[in-house]
Structure 1
Amino acid sequence: MGSVFRHVADTAMYPCGGAQCHHCERTGLPIYSYSGEIIDPSLAHNPVLAAEEPRIEELCADCIRGGNVRKSDSRVHQVSPTVTRFAADRVRAVEEYHRLPDVPLFLQGEDWPMCCGEWCEFVGVPASYAESPGVPMSYNYWEHGPTEWRFTDQLLPESLREVSLFGCVRCGRRWFTWQMT
Structure 2
Amino acid sequence: MLAMAALAGCSAGTEGTPYPVETAATAASQSAKAAQLPQRPADLSLQGVNLCEIFPQVQLDALKITSVPRTAPEQDGPVCVFDADGAEPVHSYHVRAVPADLDQWITGSRKKNSMTTEPKTIGGYPALTNYRAAGDPADCETLVGVAKGQTLAVQTFAITRGRLTRPQLCDMSAHAADLALQTLKARN
Per the normalisation by structure 2, the TM-score is 0.28
Larger Rg: 2
Higher share of residues assigned strand: 2
